[in-house]
């Protein structure tokens, strides 16, 4: 069974298809839900590990349906999310003579999805991209909403473009091969949606005994988690495609999260782990400021612990250094740091006036 | 006196301001016609030659109006229109801590405009750009319409994005310092608009004794030429922002033009010179196919000669090589070459079925 979620973005509208084993039905999904046709040459962009697991079957399904599609394998890992690596996609696009009607298929996690999306946004001033996320993080976040980009040597995602996919294909079966640490990282974003947007998702997560690995989740509940998370992202993005306002609430946990990731050189803490600590911090700020109840903050902490995600800041991190990094964050608006704080389970709001001193105290308190 | 042309692109709408000496009024134009404010840091992107002539006065005008603006000078020339050079803009953007509300000012010809526009399209997923074209080509073509981009080592403008400017400021006085060969190149695009869109512009050009240098044109006529050319581009672009259909007619003379440029390694023939020969070729094809009169083609040739632009293909160019390059052109659609042909003075149409044999004959006939 395939669940379809519509992303209502006018001329950029598209669908998200979610279902066990649907990766093999890709050509039928393309035919039914997109204007894309096998006429023009296409690329599947992936990395060697993902390709070994799922590349051949996707490639064969497309080929059998008449697509002239060539693999383009990139090195795995966030440190390769650069313009240099995107140039490899450009080179393949040139070799295969991609045309304006061509398609890039992104088969992989967030790094592959972001780079393939950026290449699609900028090759011939924009060609089609289909996202086939293989990590939990990419399924519930990166693959949806049209944010694409690469890192600058001095900052993440500083170079990028908005470019919506034509279709997102989410097959939970591929999570079987996802490393457990990456599964947990994705769960941080799922918890985020529960806290700032969807109280029912929060309840669903609260009822599950474990959130730290795929094998611990019943298939039906996993599908529900994916569907509700995608719907949450779609709800927000479709109201604010270009991040003029509301979309900022998706940055809950990310302001401090980005600083933590950066201080750990993107290795000590991965994105989801840093966001988990960032949510703990934002939750405490919200409680201190009187916007949120201590009970709600405790319920959030319980979910983060069930997902075996960290809740404290590494002891050797310098709090003043973290505060300085907050000032560098690209969400800076006229030199003020913006925070997203929860005001109820299932509801977050944007706050621009959180006192620096309070942030400092909270960070110190969270140090292990 | 300032002439204003509105570019009606919905939420991407903006204005083109044209007038003698208006470069010094930039801050007032920004205040009156854009939402941009001096609050966030900004860059002026230019090259050393242009900066020497006009940089200081523009910089001072902005600074006096409260803008915190820093110059970012790039090497001049099409061969530097690369991702590597755009990275210098990214680096400056990072150093000056540009924010989402920041602005890039592009002060220069098409190369500066295209790269600055691309950097603006992709820094923080899109910030504002103001175009201040200093070449005739950039004034009547590159600065308007939102096409931005850089070259791939194997092809021009393969990497890019659509990103509309917030304001275009055209000051004909700066053409005084434009090298004559570049002035003539820009005139090729002016003639193009006369042939495929604006019969009155064609008549105006026909009445002028010379078109080859600024000094030969009365100021009033030069302003009219700029205004009508910009209006022609705006008319077409506003009906087809993303080049789905109509906008393709702006490629009149460009299909063969691009092949000629490429074969001359972008040095033997510049863009306008190649387009001039391309228009001669397309005109002859149109006459042979019975779409256009021999008289109209002769009138077009007369304008190209008055602009001292070339009308023949260099003798050592290999015609079969040119035909192969036509197949590579990025305007290829499902392996067919698209031609824009005039059907009357002031009207061009898209044709997909021009026989290769006829193109071959025409190219041979045009060889010097």
Query: Where residue A120 falls among pLDDT bands split at 50, 70, 90?
Result: very high
CB-based contact A158 B328, cutoff 8 Å: no
Selecting from B121, B147, B154 the residue whose C-beta is nearest the C-beta of A161 gives B121
Burial of A214 (0-12, 13-18, 19+ CB in 10 A): middle
* CA distances to B134, B210, B230 from B221, in Å: 18, 12, 14
Mean pLDDT of A67-76: 98
Widest Cα–Cα separation across chain B: 62
Nearest CB among A83, A155, A161 relative to B125 is that of A161
Does A295 contact B at CB distance below 8 Å? no
Q: For residue A51, give the nearest of A16, A26, A83, A76 by alpha carbon.
A: A76
Shortest CA distance from A119: residue in chain B: B159
Element (H, E) at A83: helix A83-95
Domains of chain B, residue spans? 3-177, 186-365
Task: Enumerate the residues of chain A whose CB falls inside 8 A of the CB of residue B96.
Answer: none
Of A197-211, A254-268, B53-67, B89-103, where does mean pLDDT reach its minimum? A254-268
Nearest-neighbour CA in chain B from A159: distance (Å) = 5
> Which of B154, B161, B243 is nearest residue A121 as measured by Cβ atoms?
B161
**Alpha-carbon distance A154 to nearest alpha carbon in chain B (angstroms):** 8
Q: Tell me which chain B residues have a C-beta less than 8 angstroms from the C-beta of A85.
A: none
Letter string b/e over residues A108-142, b meaning 16 or more CB atoms within 10 A of that residue's CB: bbbbbbbbbbbbbbbbbbbbbbbbbbbbbbbbbbb
B90 touches A: beta carbon within 8 Å: yes
Distance CA B363, CA B313 (A): 7
In CATH terms, is domain B3-177 a member of 3.40.50.1970? yes
Q: What is the pLDDT of residues B250-270, one digit of tens each?
A: 999 999 999 999 899 888 999
| Domain range A180-365, its CATH number among 1.10.12.10, 1.10.1740.10, 1.10.357.10, 1.20.1090.10 | 1.20.1090.10
Quick one: pLDDT band at residue B138, thresholds 50, 70, 90?
very high
Give the per-residue pLDDT at B1: 83
Q: What is the pLDDT of residues B158-207, one digit of tens each?
A: 999 999 999 999 999 999 999 999 999 999 999 999 999 999 999 999 99
Among A11, A84, A125, A357, the one annotated catalytic: A125
| A2 within 8 A of A22, measured Cβ to Cβ | yes
CB contact under 8 A, A333 and B159: no
* % of chain B beyond a pLDDT of 90: 87
Kindly calculate the radius of gyration of chain B based on its CA atoms and give it in whole angstroms. Answer: 20
Q: Judge whether residue A243 has pLDDT over 80.
A: no
Nearest to A126 among B39, B162, B333 (CB): B162
Is residue B229 within 8 A of residue B201, CB to CB? The reply is yes
> Per the structure block, which two tokens stand in for A165?
């996919």
pLDDT-derived band at A242 (thresholds 50, 70, 90) equals: confident
Question: Is A124 close to B242, i.e. CB distance below 8 A?
Answer: no
The CATH class of the A3-176 domain is alpha beta
Q: Do B99 and A161 touch (CB under 8 A)?
A: no
Mean pLDDT of chain A: 94
| Chain mean position to CA A171 | 16
Reported as a pLDDT band with limits 50, 70 and 90, residue A336 is low
Known catalytic membership, residue A265: no
Instruction: With beta carbons less than 8 A apart as the criterion, state whether B194 and B346 touch.
Output: yes
* The domain defined by B186-365 carries CATH number 1.20.1090.10: yes
Average pLDDT over residues A325-347: 76
B 233-272 residues inside an 8 A Cβ radius of A: 242-243
Q: Which of B244, B298, B11, B262 is nearest to B154 (CA)?
A: B262
pLDDT at B329 over 90: no
Rounded mean pLDDT of A8-27?
A: 95
Q: What pLDDT band is residue B124 in, cutting at 50, 70 and 90?
A: very high
pLDDT band at B295 (very low <50, low <70, confident <90, very high): very high
Query: Is the confidence at residue B331, as pLDDT, over 70?
Result: no
Residue A281 has pLDDT above 70, yes or no: yes
Active site residue A125: yes
Looking at residue B334, its pLDDT comes to: 47
User: Given a cut of 90, is residue B308 above it in pLDDT?
Assistant: yes
The whole-number pLDDT of residue B27 equals: 97
Exposed/middle/buried for residue B11 (C-beta within 10 Å: 0-12, 13-18, 19+): exposed
Contact B95/A at CB under 8 A:
no
User: Chain B contacts of A128, Cβ < 8 Å?
Assistant: none
pLDDT reported for residue A368: 77
């Amino acid at each position: 069974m395939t669940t379809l979620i519509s992303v209502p973005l006018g001329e950029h509208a598209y669908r998200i298809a979610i279902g066990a084993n649907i990766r093999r039905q890709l050509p039928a999904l393309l035919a039914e839900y997109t204007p894309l046709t096998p006429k023009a040459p296409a690329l599947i962009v992936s990395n060697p590990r993902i390709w070994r697991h799922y590349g051949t079957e996707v490639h064969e399904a497309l080929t059998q349906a008449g697509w002239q599609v060539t693999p383009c394998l990139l090195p795995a890992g966030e440190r390769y999310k650069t313009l240099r690596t995107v140039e490899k996609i450009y080179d393949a696009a040139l070799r295969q003579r991609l045309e304006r009607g061509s398609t890039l298929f992104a088969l992989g996690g967030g790094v592959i999805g972001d780079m393939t999306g950026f290449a699609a946004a900028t090759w011939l001033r924009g060609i089609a991209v289909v996202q086939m996320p293989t990590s939990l993080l990419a399924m519930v976040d990166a693959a949806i909403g049209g944010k694409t980009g690469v890192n600058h040597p001095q900052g993440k995602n500083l170079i990028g473009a908005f470019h919506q996919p034509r279709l997102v294909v989410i097959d939970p079966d591929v999570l079987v091969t996802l490393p457990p640490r990456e599964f947990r990282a994705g769960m941080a974003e799922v918890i985020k949606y529960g806290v700032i947007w969807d109280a029912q998702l929060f309840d669903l997560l609260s009822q599950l005994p474990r959130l730290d690995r795929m094998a611990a989740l019943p298939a039906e509940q996993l599908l529900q988690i994916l569907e509700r998370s995608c719907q949450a992202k779609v709800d927000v993005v479709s109201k604010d495609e270009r991040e003029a306002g509301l979309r900022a609430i998706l940055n809950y946990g990310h302001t401090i999260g980005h600083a933590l990731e950066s201080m750990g050189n993107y290795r000590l803490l991965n994105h989801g782990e840093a966001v988990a600590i960032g949510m703990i911090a934002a939750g405490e700020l919200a409680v201190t400021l009187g916007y949120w109840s201590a009970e709600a903050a405790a319920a959030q902490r319980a979910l983060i612990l069930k997902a075996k995600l960290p809740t404290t800041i590494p002891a050797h991190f310098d709090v003043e250094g973290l505060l300085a990094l907050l000032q560098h964050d690209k969400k800076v608006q006229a030199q003020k740091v913006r925070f997203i704080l929860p005001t109820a389970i299932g509801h977050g709001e944007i706050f621009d006036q959180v006192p620096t001193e309070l942030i400092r105290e909270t960070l110190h308190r969270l140090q292990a």
